[in-house]
Every structure is written in structure tokens, then in C-alpha cells.
Structure 1
Amino acid sequence: MTNEVVDFTSQKASEQVQEKKTSQTEMLVERQAQEVQVAMIAAKRFPRNQVTAYNNILTACQRVKLAETSMYEFPRGKEIVTGPSIRLAEAIAQNWGNIDFGWMELEQRNGVSQVMAYAWDLETNSRQTKMFSVPHIRHTRKGDYVLTDPRDIYEAVANQAARRVRSCILGIIPGDVVDGAINQCNKTLREGYEMPLVDRVRMMVRAFEKEFSVNLEMIEKYIGCKSEAFTANSFVRLKKVYASLRDGVAKREDYFEIALPQDEKEISDPFKDGKDVKADVAK
């Protein structure tokens, strides 16, 4: 009888906690809606100047640091998929003006987070919203394991949310504006360095080795030539790969042929040469 009382009490407490979380989520959504309404009024009073906004975007894309992280790249089958990164999307939205964007975790239940990503043009009332679930699991080559640390859970959710936010932003920004930003970033990467290309390549190789355990031989095989023959476009490709690996868009195995450690290699058959082990033992 005592056990039944304890179980009932525990279940009641769990329900109360869940009701509290649901109430907090509703309050958060309601508060954000009120903030957006105020922002929409301000956007109507102070509309963007599209010419000035576009010029501001191009000026931002002349910064080398932004250009370096402006694109992602990962292989899909026999094709290379590339596009604007979340960093470039954020820079475009900030300079375009009167755009509210971000993400929020709606709830956590049974090891899964329910998340909403959004981008809202406050002038035109154009809006992109994406609802998705993020299981609290990390996938590794050695298998999957459950995340329990709140920091690990937040990082997993934030990583997934950033991709949806990027998609939402690009869904409401005019396509020609995005294309102009990409072209300016590529131009900056080709012309915006004072350091010689050979030194930039050397620094890039060090970064790959230190952060992702990818050596020069792997990089040369990916590019298709020796590092001495790398061009500015080769460097741009490597920057895209670096940004994709850093942001978790792809894994190093998607680009490079990773040699297995010695202990993971297949053990050779000691009898494949046809020698008679028994005869050797008999000697």
C-alpha cells in the first residue's frame, strides 16, 4: 500500500512539473508575440531603404572574417552541395533590417526537445517558421549515446536550430540580394588578403590537422593536386569545408578518406601463404 502511495505522489509531482513547463512556454510565446507587434509598428514607421540596405550587406561581405565563414560545402553522392552559412544569413538579415529571427525550445519531454525556428519580415509580414524535434542523442562512429548534461543538450539543439534559422532567413530575403552577398564574399576571399596564398594554405592545413585530424595528404587528395598548385579557388573550397565541419553541417568522412587506426585494421590471415604450420611446429 505504501508503494502505491509513493508512485501516485511521484506521478502527481511529474504532472505538476510538466504543467509548469507548458505554462512557461505559453507565456514565452505570448510575450514574444507582443514584442513582435511593437516591432511591426516601428517597422512601418521606419521602413528600410532597400538601396542602402543592399549596399550595407555588400560592405559587410568585404570583411575577410565574414567571407571566410560565409559558405558551407558538403558532398552528396557525386555532387557537391554548397550554400550560404548561418553566419552569412545572419549578416544579411541584420543589414536588411526590420527582420525578427531566432529559435526557441518549446518543451523537453522523454528525451526529445520540441523546437521552433523562425524569421519574420516585419514590414511585409512575410514569415517562415519551422517546427522540429531534436532527440537528446549524439551519433558517433562507435555508436549512439544519450545526452544527459544540460550543456550538451543545449549545444545539440542549438546546432540543429541554426540550420533551420538559416533556411527561414533565406526564405524571406530576395534571392538577388543573397546572390550579391555570395559574389562579394567570394571576391573578398580572392582579393582581400595581404598574406600570400602559400602562407594562407599553410595555416589552413595546420587548422585542419589540429581541429579535425586531417593531414596534408588527405587535403591534397580532396582538392586533386599538390598543395604547391593550390589556387585561390582551392583555398575558398577549403574554407567552405572548414566552416561546414566547424558548424557540424558535415563530418570529415564526408570529404576525406580517413585511414583506420592500426588496431581497427583487418588482421591478415597468417595461413594465406600456404605454409604448413604443423610442419613448422614438428621441426
Structure 2
Amino acid sequence: MTPAAAPARVGQGTAVEQSRAVAEVQAAVLVARQFPRNEAACVARMQTACAQKELAQRAFFRFPRGSSNVSGETIQLAKELARCWGNIQFGVAELRRDEEYGESEMQAWAWDMETNERSSTTFIVPHARWANGQAQKLADFRDVYENNANNGARRLREMIFTVLPVWYIEQAKTACTKTLATGGGDVPRPQRIAEAIGAYEGIGVTADQIETKLGRESAKWTDIDLGQLQVIFQSIQRGEVTKDEEFPKPRVTADEITGAKAATS
């Protein structure tokens, strides 16, 4: 397939937009150089943000892949860390959409304007979604848009984390985990355990199922257990994993069936 030729002339509106974009970049770089970040202040902002329960609950994802679970940090956490670090621009764009081949060419990037460190990646997103063990083609334009946005967000997260210091990211992860474990305040652990059980019962998961998963009675749950339950609960709410995948119902044994029949006869 022969690629489309570049236009012979550029319209006035396009030329103005291109000039404006160049001027914005130059101004942003100049401001970043004139007002360099104060790392101590950046870390303080990050610690304050990660101490908020609302952010900590959205900081991690979890979804099944094969016989195991994949977990990590969300794009919401990446964007917040970039905001706290300062002088960083990032974005994702659809460069080209090919309806004939059913795919989009996209680019995600992040740029530290102060150090001039830039990370970018170009990737192809098929207009299809994997479901029921096979790829299902997407025909609706909104489905294609959402599929592109989801794939772009994952790449964007990687680009942002590439330009941020590793120690800074690790401190943020630790802070968010602590917030999840402690409930973001001085709430006693028994109360947080009761709230966790109540939240799960609201989506049809019993306390017995949770205890089976954690391997201990609710009275013995630790702060780490409560943090893990928060991540799983939010992942279920976002549709990344189902409750049956995380909390499978116990299988009924032959002895239990026989015993039930004997009791009714």
C-alpha cells in the first residue's frame, strides 16, 4: 500500500498552529531553566499527595494473565508524581488511523524540560479486543477510541516513569502502600477490618472467602493484608479483575453432596 503523499502546501491555520506550538515549547523550556525544581519540596509534595486515601486507592492495578496476576502502578499515580516533580510535559497522540488494516499508529512521550531528558515510543494498536480466548474486531468508533486510550495510557505510564528518578518512584509506592494499610489516618485496625468486610460483602464476597484467601482469621489481619484488600477491591471496581477470579467459590466435594442427600432423606 503506497503511503499518502505529504500536502504540497500548508494552510494558514496549520502554519499558525505550528508556530504557536514551537513558541510554547520554547517558553516552557525557558521557564523550566529559570525556575529549577527544589527536590526537597517536590518530595514533600509527593508525600502529601500519597498520604491521601483517594490517591492511594487509585495508585495500583491488578488483573489476571493466564494462571497468575499482574500488578503495578497506575497512570493516575504516574501523572500525580509528574505533577509533584514539576517541569515535566507528557502526552499521547494518535498519529495515523488505518481503517483498511484495522489499526492505529500512536505515540506516547514524556519530557523533563529541566534536564532535557525525553522518552518516547511509537506503537501499533489493533482495532480489536481480546475476549473469550479470541480477538474481537471493534467496529464502533467509540470502542476504537477507548481501546486506543487504554493502550496509550499504559505506554504513557511507562514513559513518565522513565524520566522520573527511581528512588522517587519507590518512595511514592511505599507511601501509598502505607496509606492503604493504615487507612490514611488514625482509624483503629478493628474498625478498618470491619469496613473492609462490609465493602466486600457489598459486592457479594463473604468474610469466609476473604479469610480463605489471606489464610488467617479476620482478627489476625495485618496492615499489609488490609492494603492488599484495598488494591484488589479497587481493581474489581474498575473491572480489571472479577470477584470470582480473586475469590473463587469453594468446590463442593462428593462427600458434601452425599451428606446433604442423607440429611434430606
Which TM class, normalised by the smaller chain length? 0.7 to 0.9
Report which of the two has the higher share of helix: 1
Alpha-carbon offset, residue 106 of structure 1: 0.9
Secondary structure at the counterpart of residue 131 of structure 1: strand
Taking a change above 3 Å as real, the CA distance of residues 139 and 69 of structure 1, as seen in their structure-2 partners, is same
* Distance of 1:55 and 1:97 partners within structure 2: 12
Alpha-carbon offset, residue 231 of structure 1: 2.9
Q: How does 1:68-87 map to 2 (within 5 A)?
A: 68-74=57-63, 81-87=70-76
* Distance of 2:135 and 2:70 partners within structure 1: 26
Does 2:187 align with 1:197? no
Taking a change above 3 Å as real, the CA distance of residues 204 and 123 of structure 1, as seen in their structure-2 partners, is same
Equivalent residue, structure 1, for 2:246 = 256
Secondary structure at the counterpart of residue 246 of structure 2: coil
CA contact (8 A) 1:222 1:255 kept: no
Alpha-carbon offset, residue 29 of structure 1: 8.1
Give the RMSD, CA atoms, in angstroms.
Answer: 3.4
Which residues of structure 1 form unaligned runs of 5+? 1-14, 260-283
Q: How does 1:24-63 map to 2 (within 5 A)?
A: 32=21, 34-63=23-52
145-154 or 125-134, which deviates more: 145-154
* Distance of 1:132 and 1:62 partners within structure 2: 35
Secondary structure at the counterpart of residue 72 of structure 1: strand
Taking a change above 3 Å as real, the CA distance of residues 33 and 113 of structure 1, as seen in their structure-2 partners, is farther
Taking a change above 3 Å as real, the CA distance of residues 139 and 227 of structure 1, as seen in their structure-2 partners, is farther
Taking a change above 3 Å as real, the CA distance of residues 62 and 29 of structure 1, as seen in their structure-2 partners, is farther
Alpha-carbon offset, residue 58 of structure 1: 0.6
Q: How does 1:267-278 map to 2 (within 5 A)?
A: none
Q: How does 1:94-133 map to 2 (within 5 A)?
A: 94-109=83-98, 110-133=101-124
CA contact (8 A) 2:120 2:159 kept: yes
Alpha-carbon offset, residue 177 of structure 1: 0.9
Alpha-carbon offset, residue 215 of structure 1: 6.2
Residue by residue over 1:171-227, the C-alpha shift from the partner in whole angstroms, topping out at 9 and shown as x without a partner, is 111111111111211222222244721232124314654xxxx66665444333455
Secondary structure at the counterpart of residue 54 of structure 1: helix
Q: How does 1:228-239 map to 2 (within 5 A)?
A: 229-239=220-230
Q: Which has the larger radius of gyration?
A: 1
Residue by residue over 1:229-278, the C-alpha shift from the partner in whole angstroms, topping out at 9 and shown as x without a partner, is 43321221122234445556x5449953657xxxxxxxxxxxxxxxxxxx
User: What amino acid is aligned across from residue 197 of structure 1 in structure 2?
Assistant: R
User: What amino acid is aligned across from residue 137 of structure 1 in structure 2?
Assistant: A
223-232 or 82-91, which deviates more: 223-232
CA contact (8 A) 2:51 2:179 kept: yes
Does 2:154 align with 1:163? yes
CA contact (8 A) 1:159 1:247 kept: no
Equivalent residue, structure 2, for 1:65 = 54
Residue by residue over 1:72-119, the C-alpha shift from the partner in whole angstroms, topping out at 9 and shown as x without a partner, is 345668876543221111111001101001211111103111111111
* Distance of 1:33 and 1:247 partners within structure 2: 38
User: What amino acid is aligned across from residue 164 of structure 1 in structure 2?
Assistant: R
* Distance of 2:20 and 2:215 partners within structure 1: 54
What is the TM-score normalised by the length of structure 1?
0.70
Taking a change above 3 Å as real, the CA distance of residues 233 and 30 of structure 1, as seen in their structure-2 partners, is farther
* Distance of 1:78 and 1:144 partners within structure 2: 19
Q: Which of the residues 127, 135, 140 maps onto 1:136?
A: 127
Taking a change above 3 Å as real, the CA distance of residues 32 and 133 of structure 1, as seen in their structure-2 partners, is farther
Taking a change above 3 Å as real, the CA distance of residues 150 and 78 of structure 1, as seen in their structure-2 partners, is closer
CA contact (8 A) 1:73 1:82 kept: yes
Equivalent residue, structure 2, for 1:273 = none
Alpha-carbon offset, residue 151 of structure 1: 1.6
CA contact (8 A) 1:74 1:255 kept: no
CA contact (8 A) 2:109 2:119 kept: yes
Taking a change above 3 Å as real, the CA distance of residues 244 and 37 of structure 1, as seen in their structure-2 partners, is farther
